[in-house]
Amino acid sequence: MKMKITFLGTGDMFSVEQHHNSMLAEFGDTHLVIDFPESNAKALKEYGFAMTGIHNVFITHLHEDHINGVQMLGYYSQIVGDRKPRLFIHEELVDPLWNILSPGMRYTTDGERTMSDYYDIIPLPDGGSFELGGVTFETFRTQHVPGMVSNGLMAKPYFYYSADSTLNRERVEQVAPDVQLIFHECHMHDLVIKSHTSLKDLEQLPAEVRRKTVLMHYHDEYADAAKRAAFNRTYAEDLRMAGTLESFEIGE
């Protein structure tokens, strides 16, 4: 089965020139969006995918630039759409997410609401998995900020998605033979950021792993397509950068 991966955004938290990091996977007759920042509304319109058609969302963690469109999607689906989206999320994040959303979503003209009025919640345990359209998605805990629950996602034989995290080199090298592409965050700054992965970190991966690795979640200097192209030429068939609304066709 073919899978089409489209980046709705590739920017970091502070990005103002590109959409925040989020990915749409389309396969069979269904799809999955990873995270839902508010910039997804514009990106989906530019891509030609109706927001009422968003039925499956996976949340990696609760930083604002990954969830600040969840309220909008919930309301839009209820008012304009004809069904509640499914929200796949670690079980420990369900209540904290509602605490964030509640001030704007609890009270309506029809009375008080809960998150389950807007979404079909699919809580996932540590290392939990779920199936969509014949594809199994496996979650895994990542090291982003100490004490914070954060998760990446893998769908064999298609992709590995790091979400926001420091590099777990052992895990990446172990799973690389089982996937076609590795989507890994890379802050691209020439400094140490303890909660994110640097280009120097990724350069230490074996060549056969780097050839599968696509960079995302970077700062606005690389919102410029010419700078991304220059980077990709420099690394040739090695590491490469994804751009907003760029698509990748994978699978058989």
Q: Quick one: pLDDT at residue 236?
A: 83
Query: Is 249 contained in some domain?
Result: no
| Rounded (10°) angle between helices 70-79 and 94-105 | 60
Does the pTM of the predicted model rise above 0.85? yes
Query: Is 221 contained in some domain?
Result: yes
Q: Quick one: pLDDT at residue 237?
A: 78
Query: Is 248 contained in some domain?
Result: no
Q: How far is CA 75 from CA 119, 123, 250, in A?
A: 10, 21, 33
Query: Is 250 contained in some domain?
Result: no
Number of folded domains that form the chain: 1
> What are the structure tokens assigned to 44, written together?
């989906």
Cβ-in-10-Å burial (0-12, 13-18, 19+) of 15 comes to buried
Query: Is 8:54 a contact under the CB 8 Å cutoff?
Result: no
Query: Is 199 contained in some domain?
Result: yes
> What are φ and ψ of residue 32, in 5° steps?
-150, 130
Query: Is 177 contained in some domain?
Result: yes
- Annotate 146-188 with three-state secondary structure: CCCCCEEEEECCCEEECCCCCCCHHHHHHHHHHCCEEEEECCC
Collapsing DSSP states into helix, strand and coil, what is residue 125? Answer: coil
Q: Cα(84)–Cα(153) distance, rounded to whole angstroms?
A: 22
pLDDT digits over 77-128, tens only? Answer: 999 998 999 999 999 999 999 999 999 999 999 999 999 999 999 999 999 9
Q: Quick one: pLDDT at residue 238?
A: 92
CATH number at 53 reads 3.60.15.10
Q: Pick from 26, 21, 12, 7: which is nearest to 133 by CA?
A: 26
Q: Which domain holds residue 160?
A: 2-243
Q: Cα(128)–Cα(93) distance, rounded to whole angstroms?
A: 14
Low-confidence ranges of the chain (pLDDT < 70): none
